[in-house]
Structure 1
Amino acid sequence: MTLLEYAEKVSPLPLMGWQKEFLQKYEESKKNGKELTFIPGRNIGRTLMVDIINQFYGKLDGD
């Protein structure tokens, strides 16, 4: 399962286009050992994205 698939499954709200793109780019950068810098505006769901990423990679690390 990809990060995006996981996020779409657990998110309480439908993901916006930028969120889907961000999750795809985040997963690609993590696989390639690169760092992704993201500077979001206010009140755009950044906490949700951080929580989903932490849940996904925490879950994978525990498997």
Structure 2
Amino acid sequence: MAANLRRLRAEKGLAQDDLAYEAEVSRSYLSQLEKGAFYASLKILEKLARALGVAPYELIMPPKKRR
């Protein structure tokens, strides 16, 4: 999830502070999620997906393999 969260946030051009505010989580918690230090609950996953404008599964699907 960490890589997808970082990638989606960057694609949307959002700073961690901005995404944290929109998802109603602390910036430090978001940072830990992006580092893979914490796991998100389903409730947090939904908040993050809504703030990013994506479906929740996009945060947890395996990253695509590069060729």
What TM-score do the two structures reach when normalised by structure 2?
0.34
